[in-house]
């Protein structure tokens, strides 16, 4: 995407506003994705991250049921709704999310034990074609801690995906710089045919975020492992 035309807008430092806040406002005003999102009716520039991932991996082709983990403010579900108008969509987030036509939105913690069943009920479908997660843990400023907390969300999302996806389905999740660690990639490969990492152009260059894209869900592998008494996280926590 081009950087846009016209002179760069600058923001004057207001009384009581931190320099970092001024820089954030200036970046927002001059971000072509922010401008495009506003013009096209998307709630956030993040909508273009999913759009670009879909263009590369075909994530939304033929989807009939989608789960959006970390839905707020709703940009990803807006993309799904526009590209697959008939798809059932259920989303969850700790933060409040304004209603989106045709999307069931739950305001609760995805890590709550009741969340998976609540999402299944809200989806109104026996299985999903896509589980997408733009979740990230609140950062504390310690890189290793932040990485571990975010990866815990990615692992939880993966486990949920193996429980709700139909064979052939996909799971896409935000990870941090360096992508998913080796153990998680190995676990994803047990459940999915292909596992790749990507940084869509809409992700800011100075951002540490990447996405892991797992496609071709193998289906009953996890259930068979459970019946045999084997933990689905045996490779994550040997």
pLDDT by residue, tens only, the chain of 238 residues: 444 444 555 545 555 555 555 454 445 455 677 888 788 878 988 999 999 999 999 999 999 999 999 999 999 999 999 999 999 999 999 999 999 999 999 999 999 999 999 999 999 999 999 999 999 887 777 777 777 888 899 999 999 999 999 999 999 999 977 667 889 999 999 999 999 999 999 887 777 889 999 999 999 665 555 555 554 444 344 3
101: nearest Cα among 115, 116, 86, 117: 86
- Give pLDDT, residue 232: 45
* Residue 19 counted as domain residue: no
- The residues, ordered by sequence, that sit 6+ positions from 138 with a Cβ below 8 Å of its Cβ are 149
CB 214 within 8 A of CB 188: yes
- Give pLDDT, residue 3: 42
N residues, the chain:
238
- Give pLDDT, residue 209: 87
* Residue 26 counted as domain residue: no
Q: Which residues make beta-bridge pairs with 210?
A: 175
Give CA separation, 136 vs 79, 121, 148, in Å.
20, 24, 11
* Residue 180 counted as domain residue: yes
* Residue 169 counted as domain residue: yes
191: nearest Cα among 210, 219, 169: 219
* Annotated catalytic residue 189: no
* Residue 157 counted as domain residue: yes
Residue 155 to residue 135: CA distance in whole angstroms: 11
CATH number at residue 56: 3.40.50.150
DSSP the chain: ----SSPPP-----TT--HHHHHHHHHHHT-HHHHHHHHHT-SSTTHHHHHHHHHHH-TTTT-SEEEEET-TT-HHHHHHHHH-TT-EEEEEESS-----TTEEEEES-TTSTTHHHHHHHHHTSS-EEEEEE---PPP-S-HHHHHHHHHHHHHHHHHHHHHHEEEEEEEEEEE-TT-S-HHHHHHHHHHEEEEEEE--TTS-TT---EEEEEEEE--THHHHHHHTT--TTTTT--
Is 109 marked within a binding site?
Answer: yes
Is 210 marked within a binding site?
Answer: no
- Give pLDDT, residue 112: 96
Q: Which residues make beta-bridge pairs with 62?
A: none
Supply the range of the domain harboring residue 64: 46-227
Q: Which two tokens stand for residue 209?
A: 């975020």
* Residue 17 counted as domain residue: no
| Dihedral over alpha carbons 65, 78, 62, 93 (to 10 degrees) | -30
Is 93 marked within a binding site?
Answer: yes
- Give pLDDT, residue 221: 60
Q: How far from the centroid of its chain's Cα atoms is residue 147's Cα?
A: 16
What's the pTM? 0.80
Q: Which residues make beta-bridge pairs with 93?
A: 107
Total domains in the fold of the chain:
1
- Token pair 């082709």: residue: 61
- Which residue among the candidates 88, 174, 199, 205 is catalytic per the annotation? 174
- Token pair 């590369």: residue: 56
């Amino acid at each position: 995407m081009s950087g846009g035309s016209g002179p760069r807008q600058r923001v004057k430092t207001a009384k009581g506003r931190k320099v970092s806040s001024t820089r954030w406002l200036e970046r927002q005003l001059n971000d072509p994705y922010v401008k495009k999102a506003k013009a096209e009716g998307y709630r956030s520039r993040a909508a273009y991250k999913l759009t670009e991932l879909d263009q590369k991996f075909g994530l939304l082709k033929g989807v009939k049921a989608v789960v959006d983990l970390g839905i707020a403010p709703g940009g990803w579900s807006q993309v799904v709704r526009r590209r697959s108008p008939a798809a059932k969509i259920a989303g969850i987030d700790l933060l409040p999310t304004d209603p989106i036509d045709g999307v069931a939105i739950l305001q609760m913690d995805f890590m709550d034990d009741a969340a998976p069943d609540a999402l299944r009920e809200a989806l109104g479908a026996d299985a999903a074609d896509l589980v997408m997660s733009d979740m990230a843990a609140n950062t504390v400023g310690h890189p290793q801690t932040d990485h571990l907390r975010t990866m815990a969300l990615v692992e939880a999302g993966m486990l949920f995906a193996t429980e709700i996806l139909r064979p052939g389905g996909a799971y896409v999740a935000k990870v941090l710089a360096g992508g998913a660690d080796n153990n998680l990639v190995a676990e994803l490969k047990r459940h999915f045919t292909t596992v790749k990492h990507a940084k869509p152009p809409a992700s800011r260059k100075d951002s540490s975020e990447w996405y892991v894209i797992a496609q071709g869900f193998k289906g009953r592998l996890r259930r068979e492992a459970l019946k045999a008494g084997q933990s689905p996280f045996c490779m994550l926590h040997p």
